[in-house]
């Protein structure tokens, strides 16, 4: 599908007449495949708006009593939270219960603070007066959680779900919900039904509110309900929009060089990063150490999920007081821990925002992280050309995605039936079709965005009226300055990328050594520490060592820690079941399947169930002859070998199924050696 700006012409003939063949050729080269173009419809909101606004800040919302499901679509920074806070205060004044649901603890805690409600963990059983409501993460929306959640308790209540698009996706797909997903989805459906069948109201809000989330809630309710939509069309004016500078290179080298130069010239940047792990070259921890070596007198604050919960770190629990704390720092490095629902309103302190997006977050998350700083200061962007975290088999059409998923489920069930798993007789694989359909819609939306990652982010920023231009290359002596000031790094590493990699390696090695030397925990201390939301670095290392001891059953050494960080456990586990442990594979899959079936009381959510099973993965590798190749380690493999050519032909002919089962993409013209390498990378 070819698309262009409306002002360039209504039809293709107008485009050619107004802009010429050169413009047509340009848009033709950028044309989207039909599936990807169709997937974009899942970002749209086409429900008619009952209230249409064009306000910098949302006014008080006048909602009729007849409205039950209320959706608010308004840009970030337009006061959605404050508008909801007024509604909550009115509900509490009338003794109406209020339930706030989110997908991140810190975000929900901050919302509760704004709303005058406790977070669920703050409620004590011995309170003389129980509060009229509370907030919780969707992870706790089941009866076995600390909340002991019962949907019937929220009849006639006011339910608030901010960032609804992300909350729903978290409930449907996040790893933290895996063990209780069926229970969570059952409770969520019952909550929607109970609330809308009573005198309750449900408010959902999102800057990117779409038909997908509203359709899902309506389907869950089981009633034909018309949502009451409030749509704020406000967009920032030219004075309020950012000047964005996009770095088109394939690596962030120039982006980082300019960041260092900006700091050296007295700039105070707020830096948004995609990762925090110590193994990540572009993560918060690595860049923090590098910049501390470069600028030893600068005040640098790292904000990520670890620092926020470490009582010994200056970022500890700073989320609710960012405006007071950040003004004390010259450089702030943030992970996605503060990408959503937070507003940093400091004026005249930060001089720029820098965003390095590796393709891990969704484009929506990247855009939200760029908007945390409300002030109109320059934005500098380095964006991966494509994203990595695709869902399922990466399909961009719902039939392809769901059909392949159903086929994989049926295959996994057939394999389990061979082990005589009794629970399969009454297994409900059609559990909540509406939840599976919603999962599919959001999945293809994400997959389509990931294929055109950089372009999607830039286009969405431009739609919001922000100006995004190429970052102009400038001649300077950055490299010389870096080399002159970088006394703590090897003199031979005068290249910035190499210098950062050296910092990463040294930091990682030191951390591996500290983990190996950590004090051993007994089972009781481990369980207590595991449950605690507050952990020091020392305690995190103790937990890691305990996990490694139980996982591998051998002494924990720095080398073992490094291997585990590189994903060694997942590889040797598959290798084991492919070779020596083949006879135990059915038992392994049966135990895990039975656990999921028991947790779901006879029901399973297909995407999570498929991810839990190894049978189809091992079977695929056996059909392709991978175990045979492993037995002859001295064989020299050549692309022209007859058996390898047959294997390659089989793999290419079934590449769609292999993508679904293994997560491996195989090109139509892939050589036998290339295909073998893709499979061997898994073990």
Which SS3 state, helix, strand or coil, does residue 102 take? strand
Rg of the Cα atoms in the chain = 27
Rounded to whole angstroms, the Cα distance separating 256 from 242 reads 20
Q: pLDDT over 90 for what percent of the chain? A: 63
SS3 357: strand
Question: Which pLDDT belongs to residue 374?
Answer: 87
Query: CA-to-CA distance for 625 and 502, rounded, in angstroms?
Result: 40
Tell me which residue of 214, 202, 295 sits closest to 49, measured CA to CA.
Answer: 214
Instruction: Please name every residue paired with 331 in a beta bridge, in sequence order, or none if there are none.
Output: 300
Which residues of the chain are modeled with pLDDT < 50?
Answer: 126, 128, 478, 480, 482-483, 486-493
**Residue among 417, 409, 357, 418 nearest 388 (CA):** 357
For residue 147, what pLDDT is reported? 86
From its phi and psi, is residue 474 left (phi > 0), alpha (psi between -120 and 50) or beta?
beta
Nearest 5 degrees, angle CA 235-CA 241-CA 244? 130
pLDDT at site 340 = 65
Q: What is the phi/psi pair of residue 577, to 5°?
A: -70, -20
Distance CA 202, CA 206 (A): 13
* Residue 274: DSSP 8-state: S
CA–CA distance, 455 with 357 (Å, rounded to integer): 13
Q: 142 by DSSP, 3-state: which?
A: coil
If we measure between CA atoms, which residue out of 353, 352, 375, 387 comes closest to residue 457?
A: 387
Q: Answer for the pair 142, 177: CB distance below 8 angstroms, yes or no.
A: no
CB atoms within 10 A of CB 88: 23
Which DSSP symbol is given to 328?
A: G
Record the tokens describing residue 171, joined without a space.
């409930």
- Gap between the terminal Cα atoms of the chain: 40
Task: Give the C-alpha separation, 94 to 78, whole Å.
Answer: 27
CA distances from 427 to 407, 414, 597, 604 (A): 16, 13, 8, 8
At residue 582, the pLDDT reads 93
The predicted structure's pLDDT at residue 350: 96
Residue for token digits 């086929």?
407
**Pick from 380, 159, 430: which is nearest to 272 by CA?**
380
Cβ count near 153 (within 10 Å): 12
- Confidence at residue 104, expressed as pLDDT on a 0 to 100 scale: 87
Q: For residue 36, what pLDDT is reported?
A: 66
CA distances from 20 to 8, 14, 488 (A): 10, 9, 57
Q: Note whether 212 and 442 are within 8 A (CB).
A: yes
- C-alpha span between 418 and 414 (Å, rounded): 7
What is the token pair recorded at 518? 């950590």
Query: 174-200 burial by CB neighbour count: b if 16+ within 10 A, else e?
Result: eeebebbbbbbbbbbbbbbebbbeeeb
Nearest to 543 by CA among 566, 564, 527, 567: 527
Phi, psi of 17 (to 5 degrees): -70, -45
The Cα–Cα gap between 150 and 641 comes to 63
Calpha distance 461→139 (Å, rounded): 31
Q: Is the fold of 51-232 the same as that of 238-384?
A: yes
The full DSSP string for 219-256 is HHHTS----EEEEE-----TTTS-EEEEE-SSSSHHHH
| Contact (CB, 8 A) for 128 and 135 | no
Task: Give CATH for domain 51-232.
Answer: 3.40.50.300
Nearest to 661 by CA among 405, 338, 380: 405
**Which residues, other chains included, contact 583 with Cβ-Cβ below 8 Å and sequence gap of 6+?**
none
Please name the residue that has the structure tokens 């920023």: 461
For residue 263 the two structure tokens come to 């700091």
- Residue ranges per domain, the chain? 6-31, 51-232, 238-384, 394-444+567-682, 486-566
Question: CATH classification of 238-384 is 3.40.50.300, yes or no?
Answer: yes
Q: For residue 537, how many other CB atoms are within 10 A of its CB?
A: 14
CA atoms 99, 170, 371, 70: torsion sign: negative
Q: Return the pLDDT at 40.
A: 74
Rounded Cα distance, 281 and 502, in Å: 9
**CA 303 – CA 294 distance, rounded (Å):** 19
Q: Distance between CA atoms of 236 and 243, rounded to whole angstroms?
A: 12
Nearest to 425 by CA among 434, 416, 433, 436: 416
Contacts of 225 (CB under 8 A, 6+ apart): 68, 69, 196, 218
At which residue do the structure tokens 């010259």 appear?
330
Residue of 312, 374, 309, 311 whose CA lies nearest to 335: 309
Q: What is the pTM of this model?
A: 0.88
pLDDT given for residue 32 in this prediction: 65
Q: Which residue has the tokens 């080269």?
A: 29
SS3 329: coil
Tell me the C-alpha distance between 491 and 468, whole Å: 37
- d(CA 140, CA 151) in angstroms, rounded, equals 12
CA distance 596 to 602: 8
């Amino acid at each position: 599908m070819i698309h262009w700006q409306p002002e360039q012409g209504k039809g293709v003939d107008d485009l050619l007449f107004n802009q010429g063949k050169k413009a047509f050729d340009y848009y033709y080269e950028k044309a989207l495949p039909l599936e990807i173009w169709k997937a974009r419809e899942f970002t749209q909101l086409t429900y008619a708006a009952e209230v249409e606004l064009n306000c910098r800040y949302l006014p008080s919302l006048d909602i009729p009593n007849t409205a039950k499901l209320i959706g608010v679509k308004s840009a970030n920074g337009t006061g959605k939270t404050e508008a909801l806070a007024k509604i909550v205060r009115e509900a509490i004044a009338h003794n109406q219960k209020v339930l706030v649901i989110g997908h991140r603890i810190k975000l929900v805690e901050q919302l509760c603070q704004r709303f005058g409600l406790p977070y669920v963990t703050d409620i004590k059983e011995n309170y003389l007066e129980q509060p009229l409501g509370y907030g919780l993460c969707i992870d706790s929306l089941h009866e076995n959680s600390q909340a002991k959640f019962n949907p019937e308790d929220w009849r006639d209540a006011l339910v608030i779900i901010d960032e609804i698009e992300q909350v729903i996706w978290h409930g449907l797909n996040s790893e933290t919900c895996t063990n209780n997903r069926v229970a969570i989805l059952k409770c969520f459906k019952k909550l929607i039904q109970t609330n809308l069948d009573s005198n309750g109201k449900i408010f959902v809000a999102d800057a990117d509110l779409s038909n997908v989330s509203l359709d899902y809630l309506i389907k869950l309710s089981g009633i034909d309900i018309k949502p009451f939509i409030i749509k704020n069309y406000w967009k920032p004016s030219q004075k309020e929009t950012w000047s964005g500078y996009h770095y088109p290179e394939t690596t962030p080298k120039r982006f980082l060089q300019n960041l260092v130069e900006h700091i050296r010239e007295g700039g105070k940047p707020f830096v948004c990063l995609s990762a925090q792990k110590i193994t990540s070259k572009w993560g918060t921890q690595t860049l923090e150490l590098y910049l501390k070596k470069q600028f030893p007198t600068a005040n640098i604050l790292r904000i990520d999920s670890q620092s926020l919960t470490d009582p010994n770190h200056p970022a500890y629990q700073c989320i609710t007081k960012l405006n007071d704390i950040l003004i004390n720092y010259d450089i702030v490095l943030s992970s996605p821990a503060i990408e959503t629902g937070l507003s940093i309103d400091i004026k005249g302190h930060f001089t720029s925002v820098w965003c390095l997006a590796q393709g891990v977050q969704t484009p929506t998350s990247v855009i939200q992280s760029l908007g945390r700083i409300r002030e109109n200061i320059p934005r500098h962007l380095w964006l991966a050309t494509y994203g990595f975290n695709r869902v399922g088999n990466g399909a961009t059409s719902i039939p392809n995605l769901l059909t392949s998923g159903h086929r994989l489920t049926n295959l996994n069930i057939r394999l389990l039936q061979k082990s005589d798993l009794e629970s399969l007789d009454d297994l409900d694989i059609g559990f909540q079709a509406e939840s599976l359909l919603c999962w599919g819609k959001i999945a293809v939306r994400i997959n389509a965005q990931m294929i055109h990652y950089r372009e999607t982010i830039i286009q969405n920023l431009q739609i919001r009226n922000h100006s995004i231009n190429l970052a102009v290359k400038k001649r300077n002596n950055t490299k010389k300055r870096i080399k002159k000031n970088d006394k703590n790094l090897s003199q031979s590493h005068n290249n910035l990328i190499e210098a950062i990699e050296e910092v990463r390696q040294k930091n990682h090695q030191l951390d591996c050594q500290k983990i190996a030397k950590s004090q051993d925990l007994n089972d009781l201390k481990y369980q207590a520490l595991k449950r605690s939301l507050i952990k020091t670095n020392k305690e995190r290392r103790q937990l890691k060592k305990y996990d490694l001891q139980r996982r591998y059953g051998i002494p924990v050494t720095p080398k073992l820690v490094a291997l585990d960080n590189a994903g060694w456990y997942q590889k040797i586990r598959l290798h084991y079941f492919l070779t020596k442990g083949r006879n135990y594979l059915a038992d392994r899959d049966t135990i895990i399947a039975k656990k999921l079936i028991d947790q779901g009381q006879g029901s399973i959510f297909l995407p999570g169930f498929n991810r839990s099973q190894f049978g189809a993965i091992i079977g695929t590798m056996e059909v392709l002859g991978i175990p045979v190749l492993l037995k002859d380690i001295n064989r020299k493999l050549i692309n022209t070998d007859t058996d390898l050519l047959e294997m390659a032909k089989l793999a290419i002919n079934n590449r769609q199924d292999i993508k679904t089962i293994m997560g491996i993409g195989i090109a139509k013209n892939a050589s036998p050696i290339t295909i073998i390498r893709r499979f061997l990378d898994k073990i």
